[in-house]
Amino acid sequence: MPDFQEVADRVWVARYDWFDVNVTLIGSDKGLVVVDTHGSTRAGSEVVGDVRRLGAGEVTAVINTHWHFDHTFGNEAFRTAYGEIPIHAHENAVAELAEGADDRKQRYRDSDDPHRDDVLATTVVLPDHTFSSARVLDLGDRLVELVHPGRGHTSGDLVVRVPDVDVVLAGDLVEESAAPAFGLDCWPMDWPLSLDIVIGLVTPSTVVVPGHGAPVDRDFVETQRNEIGVLAETIRDLATRGVPADQAVAAAQWPYSPAVVEAAVQRGYEQLPRSQKRLPLI
């Protein structure tokens, strides 16, 4: 059972084996804010148990960093344990979760994954407090900022900044224990620019908590930004030279393995503006 580790004054992170995903607690005069809720109602209930063992207070709000089920499917457990507390997310994340949750369940229905029954038994609870660009939560003795830096890992990622202790929770815009996750809902051409916004929120001493893995620093985020930047520019170069999408992965060197970049290349090709046919000169 993971314990919540205090990474800064009243900011605790627990790292769960299933998906190696992080759940963060932010303490305040107005109770605890939990950031991400793990991947099923049962997994969320285990997080609730860990929160209670920590003994730092009651959860009064939830934040989902993006729609993916390993960050949102535990929402029901927190509503069951703590009542009708607000659940915050970016507006696109709510739409994506509403649209994508059944597909995720379907994939588990067709699998023999040990978490299959837990995922299928989960009632998806959508965030009910949304924003477009930024929102500040006033927790009494501290402020917490939610910032949508632009599209990247999904179209609705947010980062959480706790300015009084110089902590940034980056969601899956930053990953430490694996390569960044490029799925068929990612925006690889936008991702480096969104990370530039995140880097603008980060100082040399900021503790950056990724969606998966151990806390990192600004250098790590800059390195990951540069790798994703190389990925995006390589996609642009291949598309500009007319390399067909189905040959693109094999046609270049990549900062990550071919299996990791495959969906990114597909998405990048879809998102690049179509080249205009040149009109004949008269």
Residues within the interface to Zn ion (CB under 5 A):
68, 172
Region for residue 271 given its phi and psi (left: phi exceeds 0; alpha: psi -120 to 50; beta: otherwise): alpha
Tell me the C-alpha distance between 59 and 83, whole Å: 10
Smallest distance from the beta carbon of 72 to Zn ion, in angstroms? Answer: 10
Smallest distance from the beta carbon of 154 to Zn ion, in angstroms? Answer: 7
Smallest distance from the beta carbon of 55 to Zn ion, in angstroms? Answer: 30
Tell me the C-alpha distance between 173 and 175, whole Å: 7
Residue 106 or 240: which CB sits closer to Zn ion? 106
Is the distance from CB of 5 to CB of 14 less than 8 angstroms? yes
Residue 76 or 172: which CB sits closer to Zn ion? 172
Smallest distance from the beta carbon of 58 to Zn ion, in angstroms? Answer: 27
Residue 96 or 172: which CB sits closer to Zn ion? 172
Residue 62 or 243: which CB sits closer to Zn ion? 62
Q: Which CA distances in Å does 249 have to 8, 152, 242, 257, 265?
A: 41, 20, 13, 10, 7
Residue 36 or 50: which CB sits closer to Zn ion? 36
DSSP tag of 83: -
CA 227-90-167 angle, 5° bins: 60
Smallest distance from the beta carbon of 187 to Zn ion, in angstroms? Answer: 13
